C-alpha cells in the first residue's frame, strides 16, 4: 500500500510539473489578459458609467424587452462557440477568449473590492460585441482556410515534398541565423583577432564536441571581421582552407600553399601582394622537392627544428635555399599591410596522418609573420589522432604537443538545452501544425525520456530528417505521439529499437489473464526490457512504459482491460497488435484499411448517401470484410460512432450486405456473423430493450436491397431467446437484446420480406436460398401456413434448371485432419438429412420429380449434381461426421 501511495504521489508531482511547464509557455497570454482587464476598467470608468440611458441588469426581470435582448446576445455567444470547431486551437483564439474572461474577472474584482457602482447591461453588451465580432471573423477565416487555403497548401506541399523533406546539416553563415545565443561568443573571438597586434604567428583553437556548433561560430566570427573592415582601406586576407576536400594526404601541404597564394594574389589591400604570392609559390616548390614522409614523422614545433631535421636528409644547398626563401617570405609578409587569417575547420574529420600534417603546417612549415590561424576541432579526437601517429599510445603526449601549438584555446560554450528544445519544437510544429495532439500525453512522453535524446542542433537535424521521411510515408496511418517517440528511439538508440521491432507479441496488447501464462510472459518481458535498459545510455524504461502500457503490469502492477485495447486501436497506438507493424514498414498493405480511410468513413456516418458510397467502394476493391473486422473496434465509442448515426450505419450494412463476399476472412468468421456482431454491439449502446426494439424495427422497414443479413440477424436473436431448439439454455430476460414482443414483430417482418422476395426471381437466385428456405419454413409454422415453402417449391421445381440448382444447394465441402498432421483433406459430401427435413412428407414426390429430368439436355455439371444426389440416396457420399436422420428412402 505504501508503494502504491508513493507511486501515485510521484505521478501527481510529475503531472503538476508538466502542467506548470505547459502553462509557463503562455506567459504572454497571461500578460495580455491583465491588459484586457485594465482596459475594461478604463472603458467602464470613461464610457459606460457616463451613459445613464442604458438599462441596468436589475431590469432583466421587470422589462421583457431587456430580458429578450440579453438572452439573444448570450445565445449569439453560445452559437459562435458551437460553430467554432477549429483544430488546432491557435494563439489568436486564446487572445479572443481573453475578452469574455477578462470581463468576468474585472466584474468580480470590482464587486468584491467595494467599488462596484452598479452592474450595467451595456458592460455585458460591450464584451459580447467585441467577442462576437472577433470570434465571427476567426470563424470565417477558419472556414476559408479549410475550403481554400489548405487545398493550396496541400498542393504546394505535394509538389515540393522531395525538396523540403530533408534538411542538410550545414552550419549557419550569419548571426541573423543564430538560435543558440552564440553571437556574443563569436564576436568576442573576432574582436580578439582584430585587436591582435603582435607580428608573431598566432594559433587559436576553437574546440568542442561533435555537433556543438564550431563551424557556425567560425562563420559568425568571419562575418564580424568582414563587416568590421568593410569600410576600411586596409583589410585582412581571410583564407578558408578545408583539408578534408583532398583525397590524397600528400596533396595537403601543396594545396595549402596554392590556396594561400591565390588568396593573397587576389587581394587588393597591398601592392606587394603579388610579390608575396610569388615567394609562396617558390617556397612551396622547394618544399615539394625536399619534403619526404620521413621528414614529418617526428613532431616539431618551429621552423628551425624542422630545418634541422632536414639537414641529415637532403643536400645543404637545398636546405640553404629553403631557409633563404622562407626568410624572404617572412619579410614580405611582415611588410604586408593587413593580417593573414587562415581558417582551418573540421580538423577532427581528417585521418591521423592528415591531422599531424595540419599541425606541422601551422607551427613549423607555415608559421609566417603576421599570420593568424583559427583552427576548429574536437580536442579529444585530435589528441587521440596525435597519440596514434606518434606511436606513444599515451594521451598526455598528444595533449602536450597540442598545447605547444595552440596559444589560445577556446571551448565552445555549452548549448542551452532550452534553445535546442525550442528549435526541436519549432520543427515539430512545422510538420504537425494541423494535427490534433493529446497535450497531456505528449508532455508525459516528453518528460519521461523523449527530450533526453537531444543535446545539440545536429541531434535535432538528424532526428527531423528521419521523422520527415517516415511521416511522409505513414501520414494519417499512425499515432503522431507514438511516431515521434519510436523515431527518436530509432535514431538515437537503435539497439532498443530493434528489441522493440522484434518483440511484437511481448510488448503489444494487454497482459495475459491466467496466472501461469501471465508469470511466464512477465518473466520474458523483464528479460528483454532489462537488457535494453542495460545497453541503453538513456533512461529508456519510463519512455517504453508510456509507449507500451503492458510494461506497467510488469514494473508497476497496473493492468489494462479489453476496453483500453479498443481505445488504442482507434487511436492508432503502437501498443495495439494490429497497429504495431505500421511503425516498422514503409507502406500499408493494399488489402488493409488505413486509419486515414477509417477516419474518413467515420466522418461520413452522418450522411447515409456518402457512407453507402464508401461501403460500395470497399465492396468493389475487395476490402469490405477487413472493414467489418476493423469497424468493430469503434462500435463502443461515442466520439467515433455517435448514437445518432447508429440507425444509418445498420441500415446501410444490412441493406448492402448481400453484396459482401460470402467467405471466411482472416478471423475465420463468416460474413453475416461479422455484420451481426456489429448489429449486436451497436444495439447494446442503447440501455433498454424498448429503445433497441424500436431502432431495429425501424431499420428492418428500410432494408430492401438485401435479405439474408437481416434474416440472419433476427434468427440469431431467436437463439438468444432459446426459440426453435436453437439454444438449450436461453439468456435471462434482462440480458436479451430484444423483448419477446419486439422479436415476434421482427420475425413477422422478416417473414414478410422473404415472401415478398419469393414473388420474383430474387429469392431463387439468392446465394443463401437454402438457409432462407429453412428460416421461412420455421417462421411460417408460427406466423403463417406450414405448407408455404412446399407450395413455393412445387411451383418452382417444374423447371429442371431450378430443380437441379436446388439439389446442388445441399452439396457441402468439409475438411478432415488426421492425428498430428498439419495438412488436411478436403471432402465433398451430400447433406441428405437437411433436404429431407425441409421437404418433410413431400420428399418421395420430390424424388420422383427428379427422375423425370431429361439428362440429354442438361450439361455435365448438372449431371454431376444429379449423380451426387442419387449416390446419397444409396447411402454414399454422406456426411463423415455422423448420420443426420434416416438416409434411406
pLDDT tens-digit series, residues 754-802: 999 999 999 999 999 999 999 999 999 999 888 899 999 999 999 999 9
Mark whether 365 and 432 lie in a shared domain.
no
Residue 305 has pLDDT above 60, yes or no: no
Tell me whether residue 11 is in a domain. no
Res 665: pLDDT? 47
Mark whether 516 and 377 lie in a shared domain.
no
Res 866: pLDDT? 92
d(CA 295, CA 314): 10
Mark whether 624 and 568 lie in a shared domain.
no
Q: Are 360 and 302 in contact (CB under 8 A)?
A: no
Res 481: pLDDT? 92
Mark whether 555 and 687 lie in a shared domain.
no
What is the arrangement of strands in the sheet containing 340-344, beginning at the earlier edge strand? 237-241, 340-344, 371-377, 202-207, 408-411
Tell me whether residue 8 is in a domain. no
- Domain enclosing residue 865, as ranges: 797-889
Residue 389 has pLDDT above 50, yes or no: yes
Res 535: pLDDT? 87
Which range among 33-47, 553-567, 586-600, 680-694 shows the weakest confidence by mean pLDDT?
33-47
Per-residue three-class SS string for 777-832:
HHHHHHHCCCCHHHHHHHHHCCCHHHHHHHHHCCEEEEEECCCCCCCCEEEEEECH
Pairing of strands 825-830, 237-241: unpaired
Which range among 119-133, 230-244, 393-407, 439-453 shows the weakest confidence by mean pLDDT?
119-133
**pLDDT tens by residue, 623-662:** 899 899 889 989 988 989 999 999 999 999 999 999 998 7
Res 712: pLDDT? 94
Mark whether 331 and 189 lie in a shared domain.
yes
3-state secondary structure of 20: helix
Nearest 5 degrees, angle CA 26-CA 29-CA 33? 145
Mark whether 605 and 703 lie in a shared domain.
yes
Res 32: pLDDT? 60
What is the pLDDT confidence band of residue 570, given thresholds at 50, 70 and 90? confident
Mark whether 865 and 883 lie in a shared domain.
yes
Q: Are 333 and 371 in contact (CB under 8 A)?
A: yes
Mark whether 365 and 477 lie in a shared domain.
no
Res 502: pLDDT? 80
User: 507 is written with which cell numbers?
Assistant: 510488448
Mark whether 370 and 436 lie in a shared domain.
no
d(CA 40, CA 130): 11
Tell me whether residue 288 is in a domain. yes
Res 254: pLDDT? 77
What is the pLDDT confidence band of residue 163, given thresholds at 50, 70 and 90? very low
User: 411 is written with which cell numbers?
Assistant: 571551448
Q: Is the Cα dihedral 125, 129, 135, 136 positive or negative? A: positive
3-state secondary structure of 148: helix
Mark whether 232 and 199 lie in a shared domain.
yes
Which range among 151-155, 283-287, 859-863 shows the weakest confidence by mean pLDDT?
151-155
Tell me whether residue 589 is in a domain. no
Q: Which of 762, 791, 820 is the last residue of a domain?
A: 791
Res 59: pLDDT? 57
Residue 674 has pLDDT above 70, yes or no: yes
State the pTM of this model.
0.51
Residue 751 has pLDDT above 70, yes or no: yes
Which range among 308-322, 508-522, 541-555, 867-881 shows the weakest confidence by mean pLDDT?
308-322
Q: Which of 519, 554, 584 is the last residue of a domain?
A: 584
Tell me whether residue 1 is in a domain. no
Q: Which of 388, 411, 434 is the last residue of a domain?
A: 411
What is the pLDDT confidence band of residue 29, given thresholds at 50, 70 and 90? low
Tell me whether residue 173 is in a domain. no
Res 615: pLDDT? 93
Look-up of cell digits 542542433: 457
Res 465: pLDDT? 85
Res 394: pLDDT? 46
Mark whether 382 and 443 lie in a shared domain.
no
d(CA 798, CA 107): 89
3-state secondary structure of 351: coil
Res 140: pLDDT? 63
Mark whether 836 and 858 lie in a shared domain.
yes
As a whole number, mean pLDDT of residues 368-388 equals 85
Tell me whether residue 549 is in a domain. yes
Mean per-residue pLDDT over the chain, rounded: 77
Q: Are 311 and 319 in contact (CB under 8 A)?
A: yes
Amino acid at each position: 500500500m505504501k508503494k502504491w501511495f508513493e507511486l501515485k504521489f510521484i505521478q501527481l508531482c510529475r503531472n503538476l510539473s508538466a502542467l506548470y511547464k505547459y502553462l509557463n509557455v503562455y506567459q504572454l497570454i497571461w500578460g495580455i489578459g491583465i491588459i484586457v482587464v485594465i482596459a475594461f476598467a478604463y472603458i467602464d470608468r470613461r464610457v459606460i458609467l457616463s451613459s445613464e440611458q442604458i438599462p441596468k441588469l436589475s431590469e432583466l426581470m421587470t422589462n421583457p424587452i431587456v430580458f429578450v435582448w440579453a438572452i439573444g446576445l448570450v445565445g449569439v455567444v453560445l452559437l459562435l462557440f458551437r460553430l467554432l470547431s477549429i483544430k488546432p486551437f491557435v494563439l489568436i483564439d486564446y487572445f479572443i477568449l481573453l475578452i469574455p474572461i477578462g470581463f468576468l474577472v474585472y466584474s468580480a474584482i470590482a464587486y468584491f473590492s467595494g467599488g462596484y457602482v452598479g452592474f450595467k447591461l451595456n458592460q455585458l453588451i460591450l464584451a459580447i460585441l467585441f467577442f462576437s465580432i472577433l470570434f465571427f471573423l476567426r470563424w470565417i477565416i477558419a472556414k476559408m482556410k479549410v475550403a481554400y487555403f489548405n487545398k493550396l497548401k496541400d498542393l504546394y506541399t505535394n509538389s515540393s515534398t522531395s525538396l523540403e523533406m530533408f534538411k542538410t546539416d550545414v552550419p549557419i553563415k550569419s548571426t541573423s541565423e543564430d538560435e543558440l545565443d552564440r553571437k556574443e561568443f563569436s564576436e568576442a573571438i573576432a574582436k580578439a583577432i582584430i585587436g591582435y597586434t603582435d607580428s608573431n604567428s598566432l594559433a587559436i583553437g576553437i574546440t568542442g564536441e561533435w555537433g556543438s556548433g564550431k563551424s557556425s561560430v567560425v562563420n559568425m566570427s568571419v562575418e564580424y571581421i568582414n563587416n568590421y573592415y568593410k569600410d576600411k582601406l586596409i583589410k585582412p586576407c581571410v583564407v578558408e582552407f578545408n583539408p578534408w576536400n583532398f583525397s590524397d594526404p600528400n596533396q595537403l601541404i601543396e594545396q595549402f600553399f596554392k590556396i594561400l597564394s591565390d588568396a593573397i594574389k587576389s587581394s587588393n589591400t597591398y601592392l606587394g601582394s603579388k610579390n608575396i604570392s610569388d615567394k609562396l609559390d617558390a617556397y612551396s616548390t622547394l618544399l615539394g622537392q625536399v619534403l619526404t614522409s620521413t621528414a614529418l614523422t617526428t613532431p616539431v614545433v618551429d621552423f628551425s627544428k624542422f630545418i634541422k631535421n632536414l639537414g641529415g636528409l637532403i643536400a645543404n644547398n637545398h636546405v640553404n635555399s629553403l631557409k633563404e626563401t622562407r626568410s624572404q617570405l617572412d619579410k614580405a609578409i611582415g611588410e604586408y599591410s593587413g593580417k593573414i587569417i587562415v581558417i582551418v575547420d573540421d580538423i577532427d574529420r581528417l585521418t591521423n596522418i592528415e591531422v599531424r600534417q595540419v599541425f606541422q603546417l601551422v607551427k613549423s612549415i607555415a608559421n609566417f609573420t603576421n599570420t593568424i590561424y583559427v583552427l576548429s576541432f574536437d580536442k579529444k579526437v585530435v589528441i587521440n589522432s596525435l597519440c596514434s601517429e606518434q606511436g606513444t599510445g599515451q594521451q598526455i603526449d598528444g595533449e602536450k604537443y597540442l598545447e605547444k601549438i595552440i596559444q589560445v584555446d577556446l571551448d565552445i560554450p555549452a548549448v542551452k538545452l532550452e534553445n535546442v528544445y525550442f528549435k526541436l519544437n519549432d520543427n515539430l510544429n512545422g510538420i504537425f501544425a494541423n494535427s490534433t495532439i493529446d497535450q497531456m500525453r505528449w508532455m508525459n512522453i516528453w518528460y519521461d525520456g523523449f527530450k533526453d535524446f537531444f543535446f545539440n542542433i545536429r541531434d535535432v537535424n538528424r532526428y527531423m530528417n528521419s521523422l520527415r521521411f517516415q511521416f511522409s510515408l505513414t501520414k494519417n496511418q499512425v499515432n503522431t505521439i507514438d511516431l515521434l517517440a519510436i523515431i527518436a528511439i530509432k535514431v538515437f538508440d537503435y539497439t532498443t529499437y530493434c528489441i522493440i521491432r522484434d518483440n511484437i507479441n511481448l510488448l503489444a496488447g494487454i497482459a495475459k489473464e491466467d496466472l501461469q501464462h501471465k508469470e511466464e510472459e512477465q518473466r520474458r518481458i523483464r528479460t528483454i526490457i532489462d537488457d535494453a535498459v542495460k545497453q541503453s545510455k538513456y533512461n529508456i524504461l519510463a519512455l517504453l512504459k508510456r509507449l507500451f502500457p503492458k510494461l506497467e503490469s510488469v514494473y508497476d502492477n497496473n493492468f489494462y482491460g479489453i476496453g483500453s485495447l479498443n481505445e488504442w486501436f482507434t487511436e492508432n497506438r503502437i501498443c495495439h497488435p494490429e497497429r504495431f507493424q505500421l511503425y516498422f514498414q514503409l507502406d500499408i498493405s493494399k488489402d488493409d484499411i488505413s486509419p486515414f480511410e477509417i477516419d474518413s468513413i467515420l466522418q461520413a456516418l452522418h450522411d447515409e448517401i456518402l457512407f453507402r458510397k464508401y461501403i460500395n467502394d470497399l465492396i468493389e476493391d475487395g476490402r469490405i470484410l477487413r472493414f467489418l473486422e476493423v469497424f468493430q473496434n469503434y462500435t463502443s465509442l461515442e466520439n467515433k460512432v455517435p448514437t445518432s448515426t447508429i440507425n444509418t450505419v445498420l441500415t446501410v450494412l444490412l441493406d448492402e450486405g448481400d453484396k459482401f463476399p460470402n467467405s471466411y476472412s482472416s478471423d475465420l468468421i463468416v460474413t453475416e456473423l461479422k455484420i451481426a456482431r456489429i448489429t449486436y454491439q451497436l444495439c447494446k449502446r442503447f440501455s433498454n430493450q424498448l429503445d433497441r426494439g424500436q431502432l431495429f424495427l425501424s431499420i428492418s422497414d428500410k432494408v430492401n436491397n438485401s435479405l439474408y443479413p437481416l434474416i440472419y440477424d433476427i434468427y440469431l436473436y431467436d437463439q438468444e431467446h432459446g426459440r426453435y431448439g436453437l439454444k438449450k439454455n436461453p439468456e435471462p430476460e434482462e440480458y436479451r437484446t430484444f423483448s419477446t414482443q419486439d422479436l415476434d414483430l421482427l420475425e413477422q417482418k422478416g417473414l414478410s420480406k422473404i415472401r415478398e422476395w419469393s414473388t420474383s426471381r430474387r429469392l431463387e437466385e439468392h446465394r443463401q436460398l437454402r438457409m432462407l428456405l429453412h428460416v421461412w419454413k420455421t417462421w411460417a409454422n408460427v406466423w403463417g401456413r406450414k405448407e408455404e415453402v412446399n407450395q413455393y417449391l412445387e411451383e418452382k421445381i417444374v423447371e429442371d434448371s431450378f430443380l437441379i440448382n436446388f439439389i446442388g444447394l445441399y452439396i457441402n465441402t468439409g475438411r478432415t485432419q488426421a492425428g498430428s498432421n498439419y495438412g488436411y483433406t478436403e471432402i465433398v459430401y451430400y447433406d441428405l438429412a437437411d433436404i429431407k427435413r425441409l421437404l418433410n412428407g413431400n420428399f418421395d414426390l420430390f424424388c420422383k420429380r427428379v427422375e423425370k429430368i431429361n439428362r440429354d439436355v442438361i450439361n455435365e455439371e448438372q449431371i454431376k449434381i444429379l449423380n451426387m444426389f442419387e449416390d446419397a440416396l444409396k447411402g454414399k457420399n454422406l456426411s463423415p461426421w455422423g448420420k443426420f436422420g434416416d438416409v434411406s428412402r
